[in-house]
Structure 1
Amino acid sequence: MRLLLLWILNAVALLAVTYLLPTIQVSGFGTALVAALVLGFINTLVRPVLAILTLPITVLTLGIFYLVLNGFLFWLASALLPGFQVHGFVSAMVGAILYGVIAWALSALIPNKKG
């Protein structure tokens, strides 16, 4: 149940990003749900591999390159989905940062049951 709620909140976060940045567009809530799912899969499967491969550059830039990596993965998700558009790489980087912050804030609202 928690996973389903997080998925919906991530879709809402993506819709919030589209209202804040006019260069990022999502055609509807259904597309936002699919985009949130694709972003989750990309972040789970692709990001760790790319993070390891780009570790030397990330260390040299004191972690700033990780923002570029986040923007690239956000842009990759938009390239895979027809109803999700990101116009420009800078928009992808800013959108990825906003998406992460909004999704984190929304997920903090969910009570965490442990034990």
Structure 2
Amino acid sequence: MNGLIRFLLSGLAVFLTAYILPGVHVEHYGYALLVAAVLGLANFIIKPILIILTIPITVVTLGLFLLVINALMILLVDYLVPGFSVDGFWWALAFSLILSIFNSLFTDLFKDEKK
């Protein structure tokens, strides 16, 4: 059940972030859930490969290139999901930053107390 709640909260985070940013558009909550699923899958499969391939530039930029990789993941999801659009690289970068803040807040608010 915890996984389902986290998935729904990720969709809510995508929807709220798209509502805040004028350069990001999500048609409705169903597409926000699809964006959350595809983004999670892309972060699980493609992002580690990109991180390994770009280790030298990541070291030179002191890790800031990871923000570029996050923005590229958002642009990939923009290409794959029809009801989701991002107007450019900088909007994708802002979307990834704000989305991570929302996901962090939702995780802290709704985490299970284990005793």
Number of equivalences: 115
Counterpart AA for 2:3: L
Aligned equivalent of 1:91: 91
Per the TM alignment, residue 104 of structure 1 is displaced from its structure 2 partner at its CA by 1.2
Q: Which runs of 5+ in 1 are unaligned?
A: none
Using the size of structure 2 for normalisation, the TM-score is: 0.95
% identity of equivalent residues: 37
Partners of 2:12 and 2:111 in 1: how far apart?
18
1:56 alignment counterpart: 56
CA distance in 2, matches of 1:46, 1:93: 17
Corresponding residue for 1:69? 69
In 1: Cα distance, 2:114 partner to 2:53 partner: 35
4+ runs deviating over 6 angstroms? none
Where does 1:1-115 land on structure 2 (aligned, <5 Å)? 1-112=1-112, 114=114
Match of 1:38, as an amino acid? V
> Deviation of residue 111 (structure 1)?
2.6
- 1:4-47 alpha-carbon deviations (Å, 9 max, x no partner): 11110011001111121011000001100111000110111111
Distance 2:35 2:99 in 1: 12
